[in-house]
Amino acid sequence: MLNIVLFGPPGAGKGTQSQKLIAHYHLVHLSTGDLLRAQITQGTVLGLKAKKLMDEGLLVPDEVVIGMIDSALQEKKEAAGFIFDGFPRTVPQAESLDQLLAQHQTRVSCMVALEVGEEELVKRLLERGKTSNRPDDQDESKIRRRVNVYNTETAQVAGYYANQHKFHALNGIGEIESIFGQICQIIDQHQRPVIESPIAATDEVKA
């Protein structure tokens, strides 16, 4: 299975690149933001609670999003793999994702982080706010709070994957196609089968 974590601040282009990646690699897109907005549209209790936090640009509690990912993984057992978009956003979420994927005999293949500076993010999100109907995209102070939450609570998730040698960063400013090409290169490197060195193999036999 190919499981990609697409990482980066709000407005970095994760949603746009996810759409291209799911088509190219035949993966299932799991965006916790989309799953939460679906709950809001359905008017569920969870959705009502989440909406208050989302509108303020704050994170929804870990157990809520972890529960949603757990259910989605159970529902999509036949998937060739997943793109995680907007999840994990905290280290406990990253730890839970490892545990959940292990229950399905799989793991995160790699994380790709899209890097974009704050002023460009604010510009992009205000532009998106004109058509997205998202209250959190329409107010500059809320956008800046989301970027701040990313810097203080989410950015450390990169270190979690760096420790596992799965972290890759890319400049998120540039042509969409060019960024897509760079993401594919990273993913394809991780997909290449590991060729065991004859020395390591001999050592293993000796042991």
Binding positions for ligand ADP, rule: CB under 6 A: 10-11, 32-33, 36, 53-54, 57-60, 65, 86-87, 89, 93, 136, 146
Rounded to the nearest whole angstrom, what is the least distance from the CB of residue 12 to ligand ADP in the complex?
A: 8
- Gap between the Cα atoms of 84 and 182, Å rounded: 18
Q: Which residue is nearest to ligand ADP (CB)?
A: 33
Distance CA 50, CA 39 (A): 9
Q: How far is the CB of 24 from ligand ADP (least distance, A)?
A: 21
CB of 46 to ligand ADP, least distance (A): 12
Rounded to the nearest whole angstrom, what is the least distance from the CB of residue 53 to ligand ADP in the complex?
A: 5
Q: Is the dihedral of CA 85, 55, 46, 93 positive or negative?
A: positive
In this structure, the strands spanning 110-115 and 2-7 are: parallel
Burial class (CB in 10 A: 0-12, 13-18, 19+), 40: middle
Q: Which is nearer to ligand ADP, 15 or 81 (CB)?
A: 15
- Taking the complex as a whole, the smallest distance from the CB of residue 132 to ligand ADP amounts, in Å, to 9
Q: Which residues have C-beta within 8 Å of that of residue 106, sequence separation ≥ 6?
A: 1, 3, 81
Q: Which is nearer to ligand ADP, 92 or 201 (CB)?
A: 92
Tell me whether residue 75 or residue 188 sits nearer to ligand ADP (CB atom). Answer: 75
If one counts every other C-beta atom within 10 angstroms of the C-beta of residue 44, the result is 12
Q: Which is nearer to ligand ADP, 117 or 185 (CB)?
A: 117
C-beta of 78 vs 108, nearer to ligand ADP: 108
SS3 116: coil
